[in-house]
């Protein structure tokens, strides 16, 4: 099977612009009306030429969502699963997040949110709002509640 050179170049440029998953490339190839063995041949070429690497994608995705958007591991894991990455790639991606940085980030977002909610006088409602916020950002509930206990006592 001979793959059209223009489609191959478009696919390589698509992957060179930013990291992509196999599913994203397959979807784009379908938009370009490339299916079946031709699509698989292009994906195989992109992998061998290192344009496409799901481990690299997972590392960059997890690291940037954690650092820039301050997402927790749960939300990052959910997003990576939604992008059809393997469990191995998800583990590799989540390994990019250092435990100390993770706890420090959680502490920082809880402190910031606590100051935004400074008008809240009732301790229980404040705790619930802080927990809902942090859990919504993808942090584990047990860790969130532990950290809230430390922050509220620190007042």
Tally of domains in the chain: 3
pTM: 0.90
51 sits in which H/E element: none
Per-residue confidence (pLDDT) for residue 2, from 0 to 100: 53
Task: Name the residue with tokens 């070429």.
Answer: 45
Q: 50 in helix, strand or coil?
A: coil
Q: How would you write 74-128 as a 3-class SS string? A: HHHHHHHHHCCCCHHHHHHHHCCCCHHHHHHHHHHHHHHHHHHCCCCCCHHHHHH
Q: Are residues 113 and 137 in the same domain?
A: yes
Q: What is the full DSSP assignment across 27-42?
A: HHHHHTT--HHHHHHH
Alpha carbons 8 and 25: distance in angstroms, whole number: 11
Per-residue confidence (pLDDT) for residue 86, from 0 to 100: 96
Q: What is the CATH number of the domain that holds 15?
A: 1.10.10
- Tens digit of each residue's pLDDT, the chain (155 residues): 456 788 999 999 999 999 999 999 999 999 999 989 999 999 999 999 999 999 999 999 999 999 999 999 999 999 999 999 999 999 999 999 999 999 999 999 999 999 998 776 788 889 999 999 999 999 999 999 999 988 876 65
Q: Which domain holds residue 144?
A: 99-154
Q: How many residues does the chain have?
A: 155
Q: Are 106 and 143 in contact (CB under 8 A)?
A: yes
Q: Are residues 145 and 109 in the same domain?
A: yes
């Amino acid at each position: 099977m001979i793959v059209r050179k223009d489609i191959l170049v478009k696919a390589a440029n698509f992957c060179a612009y930013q990291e992509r998953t196999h599913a994203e490339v397959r979807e784009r190839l379908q938009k370009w009306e490339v299916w079946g063995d031709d699509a698989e041949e292009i994906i195989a070429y992109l992998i061998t030429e290192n344009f496409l690497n799901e481990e690299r994608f997972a590392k960059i995705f997890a690291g940037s969502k954690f650092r820039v958007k301050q997402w927790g591991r749960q939300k990052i894991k959910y997003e990576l699963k939604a992008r059809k990455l393997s469990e191995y790639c998800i583990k590799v991606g989540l390994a990019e997040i250092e435990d100390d940085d993770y706890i420090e980030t959680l502490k920082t977002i809880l402190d910031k949110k606590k100051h935004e909610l400074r008008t809240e006088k009732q301790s229980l409602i404040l705790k619930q709002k802080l927990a809902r916020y942090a859990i919504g950002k993808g942090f584990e509930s047990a860790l969130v509640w532990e950290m809230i206990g430390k922050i509220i006592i620190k007042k």
